[in-house]
Amino acid sequence: MPAALAAQFVKRVSARDRSRYVAEALASRLRERDRLLARAAEVANRSRQVRAIEQEYDRLEHEPAEPWDDAPSR
């Protein structure tokens, strides 16, 4: 953490509240990141290009042509 930011934090947030403050700040940032990721997924799911790629993938065989079940152990 940059020294200037740490100094502001110590000055503005009481010692007994610091852990909770950091936890709440982290939780807030993580929720925002999740929201942005969900939004990006929604946008991608509406994309014709993404749908075309998914359809191409769905046509592929889901089982490997040559399973590695009989591969020798290392």
Q: From 39, 15, 35, 38, select the one nearest 27 (Cα to Cα).
A: 35
Q: Where are the domains of the chain?
A: 14-58
Question: What number of other Cβ atoms are within 10 A of residue 13's Cβ?
Answer: 14
5-49 pLDDT per residue, tens: 999 999 999 999 999 999 999 999 999 999 999 999 999 888 999
For the chain, the first-to-last Cα distance in angstroms comes to 45
51-74 pLDDT per residue, tens: 898 888 888 876 666 667 666 776
**What are the structure tokens assigned to 47, written together?**
């994309």
